[in-house]
Chains A and B, each alone.
Chain A
Amino acid sequence: MDVLSSLVSYELQTYSGGVWKIDSIYDDREIAVFEAQRLHASNRFAGIRVVEEKFDRTANKPAARVIFRASKTEAENSRTLEQQKTTRQEVQAARKAAGVGERKSSGQRPAEPPKNSGLGVVPLILILGAVILGGLFLLVAMQSMLGVRL
């Protein structure tokens, strides 16, 4: 009985020291992938993959394809991206709560929130209104004094 010449076999390969090596061979995909996941979780190897070797009857030659792949780098990148996403969401939530605008994508420092100068909006409007009224009053007074009609 020749396992390796049966229709389909699965090679579990490990990547270490710059080379891929055959670790074990299976005739069952589920078992092969399960073992690959277990090896990946052990963190012993930089990379793990399962290669399905099938005999292509049409082409009359073997065909191989990777059906499972995992690496330490991929895992690290996934964790980093997830952390960045979480941090970004926390920052956005904090900004929203503080009433600060969205950060510009150009990377400019966000505008500092206006400092309390001592004058609110309402007093400014009142002052402006007083200035306008005063100006109008002055015009009317000048008109009556000089007898000039504007």
Chain B
Amino acid sequence: MTEETSPLERRLVIRLLKYWRSLSDGERIPAQSTIDPQAIPDMWLNCAVLDVAGKETDPEFTYVGTALSQAAGIELAGRRLSQTPANTLVSNGFSYFGQVLAKKVPITFGGEFVSSRGLKVLYRSIILPLADDGENINRLLGAANCREVAQS
């Protein structure tokens, strides 16, 4: 593992964005087939892939990393985003997928929510477009992580 030079560079969203850019030639949106989970083993656990082809209003999870599944408390692969339990990292972290479809660019967003355990959770997520033909988005790659903070 190379040594990063700043805390920002170590952040999940920055590292995944950097990886996504390495798959893109700058003009075409990368395809899901270009993603190699073995190249990003630590990030892959916090990633999810959503199928939006024909499901633009309620995408379906085709892959969910174990970290996100555990955070959701249920197995999400094969489920729709609307079936994600509320007040979880996944429900909050991927809620803005519509803007990514509209703008066709990666978007990162951070926020907070109160978990089912009554704890305040700070999170940051990123959603990146994927397109098998390089142009028309048919999948979304997302990643999210969070930390709980003591309620003041």
Contacts and interface: CB of A to CB of B under 8 A. Distances in A.
Contacts of A143: none
A108 B86 CA distance: 79
Contacts of A28: 108, 110
A35 B14 contact: yes
Interface residues on A, range: 10 to 19
A27 B105 contact: no
22 contacts: A1-B109, A3-B107, A3-B109, A16-B26, A22-B105, A23-B105, A24-B105, A24-B106, A25-B106, A25-B108, A27-B108, A28-B110, A31-B8, A31-B13, A31-B14, A31-B108, A34-B6, A34-B8, A34-B9, A34-B14, A35-B14, A44-B26
A26 interface: yes
Interface in B1-52: 6, 8-9, 11, 13-14, 17-18, 26
A35 B11 CA distance: 12
A102 interface: no
B95 interface: yes
Contact of B105 (A25, A30, A31, A38): A25
Interface string A42-74: 001100000000000000000000000000000
B63 interface: no
A2 B9 CA distance: 26
Given A27-B109, A31-B13, A1 B26 contact: no
Given A34-B8, A35-B17, A1 B92 contact: yes
A4 interface: yes
Contacts of A24: 17, 105-108
Interface of B: 6, 8-9, 11, 13-14, 17-18, 26, 92, 95-96, 99, 103, 105-111
Given A1-B111, A35-B14, A30 B103 contact: no
SS class, residues of chain B in contact with chain A: mixed
Contacts of B109: 1, 3, 27
SS class, residues of chain A in contact with chain B: mixed
Contact of A31 (B11, B18, B26, B111): B11
A9 to B, nearest CB: 9
Given A22-B103, A24-B17, A30-B8, A1 B95 contact: yes
B117 to A, nearest CB: 21
Contacts of B26: 16, 44-45
